[in-house]
Amino acid sequence: KAGVTQTPRYLIKTRGQQVTLSCSPISGHRSVSWYQQTPGQGLQFLFEYFSETQRNKGNFPGRFSGRQFSNSRSEMNVSTLELGDSALYLCASSFLVSDTQYFGPGTRLTVL
Amino acid sequence: KQEVTQIPAALSVPEGENLVLNCSFTDSAIYNLQWFRQDPGKGLTSLLLIQSSQREQTSGRLNASLDKSSGRSTLYIAASQPGDSATYLCAEPGAAGNKLTFGGGTRVLVKP
């Protein structure tokens, strides 16, 4: 069974631009969560989707948004990029809520 | 607000020695606790998930214990190998399902 895939793997953007990251969960998994990882703050929860509905949202500004499609694939969008948004963005999927989460390889976003 | 702490932040051991990694959490109503491994610049690999009703979980050379009363989990890695060098993270979902709160991680170096 294929693992969680994320595209693109690397992105370079400039301040003020917007970006969309994509995540394809493991086949059959309906829950998708997003995390931001930075050296200073570690791993922080962004949001979680289950069956196209946002179940939880972390403490991030409204510039960060996401959605989930009927095939469970998910996208997250960051508008008006800031230097501090440079991070590794990780997506995770699970079959059920509170089940083992399986992580993708991440998207490395660099904002110049 | 639940907190997860991992001490020490880094540790170095000679090959063959047993590794003991600590994780402390403040959530007395913990649902489960997950241990992950992260190689530099990569995503997270799920190692073990231990349910709140369990006291320990084993997979190969790995054994994780959970003590809710003391708010601690320990990951044991027997007979360490250089390939075990990585950062190990623990996380718990709280009552919100898949909203994982992570510890800061312990960076492990196993010297040949």
Give the tens place of pLDDT for each residue, B15-71.
999 999 999 999 878 889 999 999 998 899 999 999 988 999 999 999 999 999 999
The pLDDT value recorded for residue B50 is: 92
Q: How far is B58 from chain A (nearest CA, A)?
A: 15
Q: Do A108 and B41 touch (CB under 8 A)?
A: yes
Q: Which residue has the higher pLDDT, B93 or A104?
A: A104
> With 70 as the cut, is the pLDDT of residue B96 above it?
no
A31–B98 CB contact, under 8 Å: yes
Across B73-104, b (16+ Cβ under 10 Å) vs e yields bbbebeebeeebbbbbbbbbbbebbbbbbbbb
Give the C-alpha separation, B34 to B32, whole Å: 7
Tokens read off for B111: 């010297």
pLDDT for the residue numbered B31: 86
Q: Quick one: closest CA in B to A50, which residue?
A: B98
Distance between B48 CA and the closest CA of chain A, angstroms:
8
A105 cis-preceded (ω within 30 degrees of 0): no
| Cβ neighbours around A20 below 10 Å, total | 14
Residue-wise pLDDT tens digits, B64-94: 999 999 999 999 999 999 999 999 999 998 7
Q: Give pLDDT, residue B25.
A: 95
Q: In Å, what is the CA distance from A78 to each residue of A45, B25, B27?
A: 15, 31, 31
Minimal Cβ distance to B34: which of A50, A100, A105: A100
Residue A102 has pLDDT above 80, yes or no: yes
Chain A nearest-CA distance from B96, in A, is 7
Chain A contacts of B105, Cβ < 8 Å? 42
pLDDT for position B85: 97
Q: Give B58-64's long-range contacts (Cβ < 8 A, gap of 24+).
A: B62/B35, B64/B33, B64/B35
Q: Using CA atoms, how far apart are residues B60 and B51, in angstroms rounded to an integer?
A: 18
Residues B54, B55, B57, B62: what is their CA dihedral angle, to the nearest 10 degrees?
160
Residue A4: which of A101, A86, A97 has the closest Cα?
A101
Q: Which of A82, A30, A92, A31 is nearest to A60 (CA)?
A: A82
**Six-digit token pair at A107?**
């998207």
pLDDT value of position B21: 98
Site of tokens 């709140």: B52
Instruction: Mark yes or no for CB contact A105/B32 under 8 Å.
Output: no
- Asked if A92 lies within 8 A of B44 by C-beta distance, the reply is yes
SS (H, E, C) B48-61: EEEECCCCEEEECC
- Give yes or no for B5 touching A (CB within 8 A): no
pLDDT digit string, tens, across residues A19-78: 999 999 999 999 999 999 999 899 999 999 999 999 989 999 999 999 999 999 999 999
pLDDT at B98: 79
Q: How far is the C-alpha of B58 from the C-alpha of B53, rounded, in Å?
A: 15
How far is residue B73's CA from residue B71's CA, in Å, rounded to a whole number?
Answer: 7
Question: B7 pLDDT exceeds 70?
Answer: yes
Residue A21 confidence (pLDDT): 98
pLDDT at B2: 82
Interface of B with A in 21-50 (CB under 8 A): 31-32, 34, 36, 41-46, 49
* SS3 at position B11: strand
Interchain CB contact of B2 with A (< 8 Å): no
